Amino acid sequence: MRAARLIKLVLLLQSRPSMTGAELARQLEVSERTIARDVLALSEAGVPVYADRGRTGGYRLVGGYRTRLTGLGRTEAEALFLSGVPSALREMGLADAASAARLKVSAALLPELRDASASASQRFHLDAPGWWREGDPPPLLPAVADAVWDDRPVTARYRRRDTEVERGLEPYGLVLKGGVWYLAARAAGGFRVYRVDRFTAVAAGADRFERDETFDLPGFWEERAAEFARSILRDRVGLRLTPEGARRLPHVTDRMAAEEALRAADAPDDHGRVSVTLRVESLEVAYEQVLGLGPEAEVLKPQALRDRFAEAAARSADLYR
């Protein structure tokens, strides 16, 4: 571990004109005393590290010294392409590899371009997990990620409702959707999708499986996500919407279902209202969603849902009398 830290220390100094001991200690997550010992070790090894004394002092490389230790390893190169999703890197155990990769890239850049990474990170940030969600990643995610990177088959136990099943899987790829991790894997029946937080045990095999080079993870996920969205929209409700209700409908219910309903809507009546048939997950979910439209939506059918809204409207009117 110390050798890796020494390399990172040199790369940090190579990417900046000067750094204080406190800055280096913070970047490398060690004490300032450890930094002082590491600098001494580098000097004894022939790396020209110079210490400027005083309040504005720090460490710097002398005479434009350049290390050749900037080649990316495979893990670092792969992690670099995920560096825009820091939470995903941390959860998969790749944060250190990505950090080393960024340092090596920074060290290889011209001096006038070395602030590009900091400049971009201060202007754009992707926060993948959804709101009001526990931040703890699935405990078996690192093991699953390792199997994905190495193309190793796994024997996994998977929680399905009130039972557990055991499956032999060839893990092809991981997807982070709305803060939830999913695994795309090939099993006996073809390619399937599994929620990683439902794995209770994962054991990777010693050999590697041969990947199907025609498999396209983004395309596969887009297709399965669309199928899933269609499969859960089992019920239908009839609505009469004001122009404002039609505008807001995609924001309170499934966007694809809302757009589909609006495209097939009847012609507006004399008041500009349109009648639509909306696919919904259930009548209970429809009640919660359409309630958010208030007086901009009238439920036409089924009658049981219409009656429920009429009762809710009457109770609301009593509150405001």
Q: How far apart are CA 128 and CA 71, in angstroms?
A: 30
Q: What mean pLDDT comes out for the span 4-26?
A: 81
> Sorting pLDDT into bands at 50, 70 and 90, what band is 54?
low
Average pLDDT, the chain: 80
The b/e string for 261-278 (b: 16+ C-beta within 10 A; e otherwise) is bbeebeeeeeeebbbbeb
pLDDT tens sequence across 176-223: 877 788 899 998 878 999 989 899 999 999 899 998 888 888 888 888
Report if pTM > 0.75: no
pLDDT score of 81: 47
pLDDT for 148 beyond 80: yes
High-pLDDT (> 90) share of the chain, %: 28
How big is the chain, counted in residues?
Answer: 321
pLDDT tens sequence across 56-103: 678 888 776 666 555 555 555 554 545 555 555 566 666 666 666 666
Q: What mean pLDDT comes out for the span 229-245?
A: 88
